[in-house]
Amino acid sequence: MKNSRLTLVLLVLCFALWGVVNNMSDNLVPAFQRIFTMDQSRAVLVQVSFYGAYAVLALFTSILVEEFSFRVGILLGLGVYVCGALLYIPACVQQRFDVYFIGIFVVAGGCAILEASSNSCMLALGDPKSAIRRLNFAQAMNPVGSIVGIFLAQKVILAHLNPATVEERMAMEPEVLKGIIHNELIWICVPYVGLCVLLLAIWVYFFRHPIHTSVEDGVDKGPIG
């Protein structure tokens, strides 16, 4: 019973987590536009990458859950997110937008897999009569996560952008500008990589504990491995 309650709590937390990531990623458009002194048409590729991942992986996730289990989908979603977020580190060191582009796609892919798997799992977790109620409650946490994402974007990412204009940046010495960009990119990494600690803790829990559902969906009966 204790594990079942913790499973429910962690699943609800997952609903909030992809709301956090969705709203942080939207704020990367103005951030990258200033940092890399690019026009909006190129900066908007951040959103193309993020939401494109959802479109590409939607069908894959449904097949994955159908063939394996909710838990495998959740583990894969969490793992893919962590891998994508860790790509932000070499992107920061190399100061390359294209590496961020790939990282954003991978992060969004992890969120897409996690979202589809968690929605299905929430419906199957417990009494079928209260399935819709459980799902509605979990989905109510998504806007809460969205608010947290907006807060993190404003206070952690955008608040640490240097106020220098494009013209002022172009007039700076290359080493000075490089230092400014490095500091700005570090603050982009902080919330994404910081979330990895929480996501890894959730991953370890689901790796070690089975998910008992009310339907026969091929869920593992014990720890994986």
pLDDT of residue 221: 41
Number of H helices, E strands in the chain: 10, 0
Predicted TM-score of the model (pTM): 0.86
Structural contact between residues 45 and 101, judged by C-beta atoms closer than 8 angstroms: yes
Task: Give residue for tokens 């990367």.
Answer: 28
DSSP for 109-158?
HHHHHHHHHHHHHHHHSS-GGGHHHHHHHHHHHHHHHHHHHHHHIIIIIG
pLDDT score of 217: 42
The pLDDT tens digits for 65-121 are 677 778 888 999 999 999 999 999 999 999 999 999 999 999 999 998 888 888 888
Which residues contact residue 64 at a Cβ distance below 8 angstroms, ignoring those fewer than 6 apart?
A: 72, 73, 76, 113, 117
How far is the C-alpha of 155 from the C-alpha of 165, rounded, in Å?
20
Task: Write out pLDDT tens, residues 164-212.
Answer: 988 898 899 999 999 999 999 999 999 999 999 999 999 999 998 877 6
- What 3 state SS string does 8-61 have? HHHHHHHHHHHHHHHHHHHCHHHHHHHHCCCCHHHHCHHHHHHHHHHHHHHHHH
